[in-house]
Amino acid sequence: MPEPSSIVLGIETSCDETAAAVVRGDGVVLAERLLSQLDDHRPYGGVVPEIAARAHLDHLDRLIAETMAEANLGYEALDAIAVTGGPGLIGGVMVGVMTAKAIASVHGLPFLAVNHLEGHALSVRLTDDVAFPYLLLLISGGHCQLLIVDGIGRFQRLGTTLDDAAGEAFDKVAKMTGLGYPGGPAVEQAAAAGDPARFTLPRPMKGRKGCDFSFAGLKTAVRHALDRLPEALTEQDAADMARAFQDSVADVVADRTGNAIDLFREARPNGRDLVVAGGVAANQVLRARLTDLAADSGLHFTAPPLKYCTDNAAMIAWAGLERLDTGVTDPLDFKPRPRWPLDSAAAGR
């Protein structure tokens, strides 16, 4: 674990959240700010990269200043600057990286370029006592992977999505059913009033060997089912479809994760935790299924608090603290990366 007295400023600009946080090595978040761009992107039903980058540029300096003021610290009190270096929307990533480089250069501080996915992967260690190794389900708008986390920068990917990520599928289904944006919370809320027997949807990849996912066919099945409705879509139609879709995703994720648990327990018999992270990890139905699955498998289920499931700067600062503790820093000529796999050995598979 990091040195308890170390302090890092974290910056996150990889998608549509502009965020800054100051975190101490003992896990105390001294201050944090987050500006959501949901209202900017809602008319388009998804994130527009150019709008996101402009918003980061307009607001990041102010958020950093407010965060430092709330923490009551000067830059001389920091031990490093950590920033999302990728993967993500490259315009936004560049805004964060250039800002972090400037601060690090002016104040003579170490610069840490954090893989956004590692930020999610390690976020649970900010709030919970989770030791390496652990099995991670990383499930978000852009990513859906199962990985063994052996340590800082040490990941073995067991499975990934062959097409769309689960969060992207939630957004598309929400758009098709008129539930709005962002899709994850909208679908979950509507599904609570849905009839689970109304629509029958496929469970892609369920029952197959391995740990890969596929959600493109499920989205298509939703579209076809909606097209077959005899009349205009009603609120109850949308709720019933949301329930059917959410149940399908939960079944698929539980099945794929079950296969990964078998591989994890064989490969890492000392591992004791199943961790879920990423924006879709906020879904309570999915959490409940994974909690039961972990218990049946003799593992402890852990997830970050809801505010640290979605993109945030505290997880970036924490990942920076973890990296700093290993003695790793990055040069100021680091280049932002639109793609950055956690397991480089599996990047081409």
Tokens of 211: 């740990």
Identity of the residue numbered 208: R
Q: Please write the tens of the pLDDT for every residue from 162-183.
A: 999 999 999 999 999 999 988 9
pTM metric for this prediction: 0.94
CA distances from 26 to 166, 235, 285, 313 (A): 33, 47, 31, 16
pLDDT at 37 over 90: no
Q: Please write the tens of the pLDDT for every residue from 284-325.
A: 999 999 999 999 999 999 999 999 999 999 999 999 999 999
Q: Domain 7-124+308-346 adopts which CATH fold?
A: Nucleotidyltransferase; domain 5 (3.30.420)
Count H helices and E strands in the chain, helices first: 10, 10
| 7-124+308-346 and 132-303, same CATH topology | yes
| Residue 50, pLDDT score | 86
CA distances from 289 to 106, 171, 250, 298 (A): 49, 21, 7, 14
Question: Average pLDDT of 261-276?
Answer: 97
Tokens of 129: 């006592």
Tokens of 287: 């959490």
d(CA 223, CA 127): 40
DSSP three-state, residue 191: helix
Domain 132-303, CATH: 3.30.420.40
DSSP H helical ranges for 268-325: 284-296, 314-325
pLDDT at 102 over 80: yes
d(CA 279, CA 248): 18
Q: Please write the tens of the pLDDT for every residue from 125-164.
A: 999 999 999 999 999 888 899 999 999 999 999 999 999 9
What is the Cα gyration radius of the chain? 20
What percentage of the chain exceeds 90 in pLDDT? 89
d(CA 84, CA 336): 9
Q: Please write the tens of the pLDDT for every residue from 11-28.
A: 999 988 999 999 999 999
pLDDT at 348 over 60: no
d(CA 245, CA 222): 8
Name the residue among 137, 85, 100, 158 with its Cα closest to residue 319.
85
- Count CA atoms closer than 13 A to 162's CA, side-chain side: 12
Rounded to the nearest 10 degrees, how much is the dihedral formed by the CA atoms of 139, 140, 143, 148?
A: -30
The ranges assigned to domains in the chain are 7-124+308-346, 132-303
CA distances from 276 to 44, 118, 217, 319 (A): 29, 13, 24, 16
d(CA 101, CA 333): 9
For the chain, give the mean pLDDT: 95
Q: Please write the tens of the pLDDT for every residue from 204-246.
A: 999 999 999 999 999 999 999 999 999 999 999 999 999 999 9
Cα dihedral 145, 150, 155, 157 sign = negative
**In which residue are the tokens 């579209």 written?**
223
**In which residue are the tokens 């899709």 written?**
183
d(CA 291, CA 272): 13
Dihedrals phi, psi of 153, to nearest 5 degrees: 75, 10
The Cα angle at residue 283 between residues 280 and 286, in degrees rounded to 5: 95
Identity of the residue numbered 193: A
| Residue 36, pLDDT score | 87
d(CA 184, CA 107): 40
Q: pLDDT confidence of 43, banded at 50, 70, 90?
A: confident
